[in-house]
Structure 1
């Protein structure tokens, strides 16, 4: 692969205008498809889980109870202080608002609170139900805003009356980055400028990453017209595509600049950078792609789309790095060469000089580490066992809260403070109980019952006797389809464990109810769908983690031809995941320091987060493992000195890996400004995960383990060594061929000189 990438990089450099024109044409075509067939206006944030009981019942409701199968909104009226919603003036204002709501777009039915008996005990609050015949994803972008405008007339007719709109129609809310990508890009520019000491050099990784992100996001959005693409999938693809796009380009540009600093011709240097660092980029990128695409095996469309969107963004980032980037390097030419005597030039020379040797133009100095990276690696390997114990204690302390991890889908209770849906949720919880925000729907098939009405009444009575049931509405019977619909109000909030227990209890009683009434039942509604999604994700977690860890062991065994390195990498990966989950639980579920990132209410962790964290962090952890350990392996092969090889890895790779990790952290952390609780949790988890994995695991735990195991770290049984292919991920043979050809090239240059 290094030789193939070398030729590809040289071709792109030499034919840079054609390559650039081709990429511009691809971007234009993808953007055109987005405008013609998709776009942000067609995003779908609906959770579905095909095959589950809740989804099957929901699908049947579309034909048997179409008015109840769509999404719904709650209009919460709160009377002025000292008044009641049943007072003549207040009631008149409410009914005026409800009349206006009936004419709002896509509204199928409006239920008067007096008819539904949804008036609080003290008479201060009333809830009107607005029913749509379409699902949340099918709501037009302005439908809910039109409903808000329609019901606002109540406050005009009765000054002091508070009117808020919430309910299931809002779901978890669309994931909006709020300009986070620009914040992340700004921080990345600063880090790149500090890393290279050149704005021109810093701009190339940024430019190539933006090209990849534009292509990926436009491609994803172009499919929104034919398949369900969620706003979270778009944001995740943007977040990961931008982060890895900058990082992959950073690794290649760093290797190219090092070649220029040592006198290699620009074209040859760019080709070698793509052949060496580009090989590691391809390997690292494919691990991310495999892990993200693997999310599709869980069987939840929402998660599948998220995984495939992120995988596409990473794949495009890899293609951009090995084709468009060398073309951009060709346009820059020799201008990327560090100036003689500059800090960048001294740093490149020092990195390749053995510790303690003099750098060109400077007097010899006593032996000491060449740079901060090597100094850190020397520090953590001075007493490696003590370092390992310190890491384990620190990571264990961070991971401890993870034992109380509670998963659920986000609801309006975690919406931004001050939003209409959050105010409505809080008022409903206060006056009617938290369960009123997430009612359960029980669909009964009474086709084998003697009498549908009697059977439905007996089912409702049995459910009413279960624990944690606040209220059960009178069954609605459809005599033509022999079905009945029963609304159940839990006493607990939609995301509480008690509500999950109630759903399980209703389903557990289904066989008994069938014997007594002849009817079969299914529990559905947005709350039940969310519970089923969480249950399926819980069941998939351990198998998926086993596949990810097993894949990491296999890939690293092939790359490094060692037994210790893959096991150490897998253990480090699990440590970073555990510590990250502990940090997420501490901030979002327990509320520690949550106000610092704009979280005003603690709640359960998003059901999707752990499995997304496993997939994404696995790929990113392999990035840093490959770029750090490959340099150490290369040094060990040349010198045979294990401790010196560890220090050499720090000298050559620590600075670039540090910059790459800081860029990723900045990009992920910038998305903490999002209003979406799910996206905020994902951004926090990825930022903390990269921080821990890069600096605590890869740059502290890993060198300590390698120093402690010595020569054994690079041992591989001979029978296994003969079976495994030599992937040469760092392009050692390519570099050796280049070094052997250098004297010949120099001779030819001298001979042709005038």
Structure 2
């Protein structure tokens, strides 16, 4: 591969204008296609194949007019009376009426208005209706009173009330800003009249907004780091330029894809975040290698050699990242698959841009690429005509410290990152809801008020769907209820249909069984379809949506549902927003071991082929677990536990953060592993192939008292540390800049990815890896003969390429000398 990339680099260098025009044409073509064919990004996160979604299909089949309760644009408006007063007091009653009237007059197309109105009036009427309907079905009055109390819209002390309705749009994400503004204006009406009014619900969530400033901040910091790395404004601008073009193509391609598939508007944000980080880093590695090679070879060969060596590492690292992102498809959750594939495509573009566009720009600029030097940086003299500073680099000093105390460094890293990872044991996962919104939002206030007035479970209802088409007429569990219905029918002189009697009995039986589940506050039958073949049961848990006990209750409800189905022959499913969110969390947790096995296993296999070593891939994999564990731990401490009050509202982490963080961080961790250890292996192979102690007698870091492993570790680390440090700082800056985004889960992603790169680059790759090599010495590059024969060779160091180039140079030199003799 290195030889092929060498040819590609030289070709791009010599055919610079073809390459440049081609990439700019692709960018323009993508822009034109995006403008012509794009469709709006969706605000929805597509999912499917979970038990709660299957239950939704059952609901829609049996209740065609029911809509989708998991995606309905429902709004709760909550009222709180001033201290010492009741909502029924005349002034407060009038204030509530003002809010209701404003909503009724200005908010068109509202549905599900059975509980819409002044709760002081609507609640008693609703409860009376429930009691009448329940007792008419032959149920005990005690059950009727409990059902009515569970649907109360006024708290027991009369100080808290609420009304609810649904905005008639396709989904909760389609609510317009104008509709939100109408609800806000109605709330202001009540507040001006002296009562507290808050609103929440899926139909009154904050719109998804993305700020463009994060990318700009990341680019500015990256530019500063690049200036410090190269000491040149021109060289610092090239990685920024190529990354922006690559990300532009990737983002526009994602926009074009909306013409064919539905994508949510977060998809391009994550692709841009990752694409910018890797795009700058890949260009940095190739440009840095070009500068080193330019000292000993012509510009075109230097460009080819940079692409053949550093470019090989870029290809390997890019493939690792792409595998990690594309493997998210195994979770089989639509929006996560779209995010992974979109980001993977953007990384793919970044790889090709780095391999071709960078050498093309080098062909245009020539030796001017490192002009516009900044005095005092990257070894530049402070004043014109001053001497260039030479001496031991910071990287060389650090690896010398690690060499002196490898055991201590290893212990500090392992124990330190291990301790940092311990908060992961308390990690809680959930999807965004009113109960996890920031404390200062009206959505969070409404959820807290509802929990205070009606119990925490009011924010986490489950909807159980019973399909009784195949009910067992002879079920022993249903016979007492069927007998009771038969007796009532005989007393009233009506004819009882056996199928209907069994179906109704299964509904009542299910309610009774669900009521027995631990953690259930109340279960009640709320609707039966026209032919009595299906029913809906509202189950209110004791605890809130983000409480782990609610998850336990959901699991127990499903276990009970299976027992009910076995006993009666009916199909029982559970859905609703809370159930859907829990199913997503459960599926993600279940997919995690498979995902880790695929990504980590394949990457370790590839590393075995690259480094021909057992220890190096194992250290790479174990080190990754330490760094990602520490990143998780710090994220839990800050965003979930509220360490030092650094975040406004500590809350459970978003459910798909762990698997996405693991995938991205693992891919990026392998980047640094490859770029750093490749330089070590290059020197080690050179020492093995030559009898001399060093291939470069003028090498300033050459230490003759070292063995081959020690020297290759020191030399390779010294040569690669500066670039890897710059790459890590750039990536951290790009990720951390996204903490400025308004969406909490993007903030958490930015923070967690930045922390993951920080721990992995500086603690694992630049400390643990050299420490283990110093400790293991010759075992560092050991591989069993049978495994060496089994695993394919992947020459990303370009050893054969270097040898071939040197042979060509020697042949050219010999030819020139011969020609000189002939002419003389």
TM-score, L = length of structure 1 = 0.90
Report if the CA contact (8 A) 1:108-1:133 is conserved. Answer: no
Task: For 1:456 and 1:100, locate their aligned partners in 2 and report how far apart those are by CA, in whole Å.
Answer: 39
Of 73-82 and 484-493, deviating more is 73-82
Deviates most, 695-704 or 407-416:
407-416
- 1:554: Cα distance to partner? 0.5
Q: CA deviation at 1:671?
A: 1.0
- 2:527 alignment partner in structure 1: 476
SS at match of 1:42: coil
Give the Å deviation of 1:196: 0.9
Cα 1:723–1:457 change in 2 (3 A) is closer
Q: Unaligned stretches of 5+ in structure 1? A: 349-359
Distance 1:275 1:546 in 2: 31
Deviation at 1:420, TM superposition (A): 3.3
**Cα distance in 2 between the residues matched to 1:200 and 1:510:** 67
- C-alpha separation in 1, matches of 2:371 and 2:715: 22
Q: In structure 1, what is the equivalent of residue 704 of structure 2?
A: none
Decide whether the 8 Å contact of 2:231 with 2:374 is kept in 1: no
* Residue aligned with 2:43, SS: coil
Shift of the alpha carbon at 1:193?
1.0
Cα distance, 1:109 vs structure 2: 4.7
Q: Secondary structure at the match of 1:128?
A: strand
Matched, 1:182 2:182: no
Deviation at 1:405, TM superposition (A): 2.2
Deviations 1:430-460 (A, max 9, x none): 3223322221111111333643445434433
Q: Deviations over 1:524-583 (max 9, x none)?
A: 011101111111111111222122221122011000111111111111111112222222
Match of 1:606 in 2: 654
Equivalence for 1:660: 727
Taking the aligned partners of 1:199 and 1:421, their CA distance within structure 2 comes to 48
Say yes or no: does 1:418 pair with 2:445: no
Change in CA separation of 1:192 and 1:340 when aligned onto 2, cut-off 3 Å: closer
Offset of residue 47 of structure 1: 4.9
Q: Using the alignment, how far apart are the partners of 2:170 and 2:749 within structure 1?
A: 26
Please name the residue that 2:38 is paired with: 38
2:702 maps to: none
Q: CA deviation at 1:138?
A: 5.8
Scaled by the length of structure 2, the TM-score of the pair is 0.83
Residue 491 of structure 1 corresponds to which residue in structure 2?
542
CA distance in 1: counterparts of 2:173 and 2:660, whole angstroms:
26
- Which residue of the partner structure matches residue 318 of structure 1? 351
CA distance in 2 between partners of 1:309 and 1:473 (Å): 45
Q: 2:286 aligns with which of 224, 232, 252?
A: 252
Q: Is the contact between residue 459 and residue 544 of structure 2 (CA under 8 Å) also seen in structure 1?
A: yes
Q: 1:111 aligns with which of 109, 115, 118?
A: 115
Alpha-carbon distance between aligned partners in 1 of 2:791 and 2:371, rounded to the nearest angstrom: 40
Tell me the residue number matched to 2:784: 717
CA contact (8 A) 2:681 2:797 kept: no
Greater gyration radius? 2
1:568 aligns with 2:603: no
Q: Measure how far apart 1:521 and its partner are.
A: 1.5
Identify the range of structure 1 (604-613 vs 281-290) with the bigger mean alpha-carbon deviation.
604-613
**Aligned partners of 2:114, 2:365: CA distance in 1, in Å?**
65
Q: Would the aligned equivalents of 1:439 and 1:490 in 2 still touch at CA under 8 Å?
A: yes
Pair 511,179 (structure 1): closer, same or farther in 2 beyond 3 Å: same
Structure 2: gaps (5+ residues): 127-150, 472-498, 689-707
Aligned-pair Cα RMSD in Å:
3.0
Q: Structure 1: how far apart are the matches of 2:649 and 2:407?
A: 41
Q: Does the 8 Å CA contact 2:403/2:774 hold for their aligned counterparts?
A: yes
Shifted more, 138-147 versus 282-291: the winner is 138-147
2:300 to 257, 261, 267: 267
Q: Which residue of 2 aligns with 1:615?
A: 663
Counterpart contact for 1:500–1:531, Cα < 8 Å: yes
Give per-residue Cα distances to partners, 1:197-221, cap 9 Å, x unaligned: 1111101000100111111112112
Over 3 Å counting, the alpha-carbon distance change for 1:722 and 1:517 in structure 2 is: closer
Matches within 5 A, 1:503-514: 503-514=554-565
- 1:19/1:472 CA distance change after superposition, 3 Å: same
Q: Which residue of structure 1 lines up, in the alignment, with residue 59 of structure 2? A: 61
Work out whether residues 168 and 526 of structure 1, in 8 Å CA contact, stay in contact via their aligned partners in 2.
Answer: no
Post-superposition Cα deviations, 1:234-275, rounded to whole Å, max 9, x if no partner, equal 221111111001100110111112233x15333222222111
Structure-2 residue corresponding to 1:352:
none
SS of 1:509 mapped into structure 2: helix
Task: Measure, in 1, the Cα distance between the counterparts of 2:730 and 2:373.
Answer: 28
C-alpha separation between the residues in 2 aligned to 1:202 and 1:362? 20
| Structure 2 contact 230–370 (Cα < 8 Å) conserved | no
Judge conservation of contact 1:54–1:523 (CA < 8 Å) in 2: yes
Q: What is the SS of the residue equivalent to 1:180?
A: helix
1:56 CA displacement? 0.6
Q: Choose the corresponding residue for 1:550, options 594, 601, 610.
A: 601
- Structure-to-structure mapping, 1:731-750, within 5 angstroms: 731-742=798-809
Q: Which moved more, 1:20-29 or 1:128-137?
A: 128-137
Match of 2:270 among 236, 239, 244: 236
**Residue deviations 1:648-680 (CA, integer Å, cap 9, x gap):** 112100000000001111111111122222222
1:160 alignment partner, one of 184, 190, 194: 194
3-state SS of paired residue (1:76): strand
Q: Tell me the number of residue pairs that the alignment of Structure 1 and Structure 2 aligns.
A: 730
In structure 2, do the counterparts of structure 1 residues 738 and 344 end up closer, same or farther at CA, with 3 Å as the change threshold?
A: farther
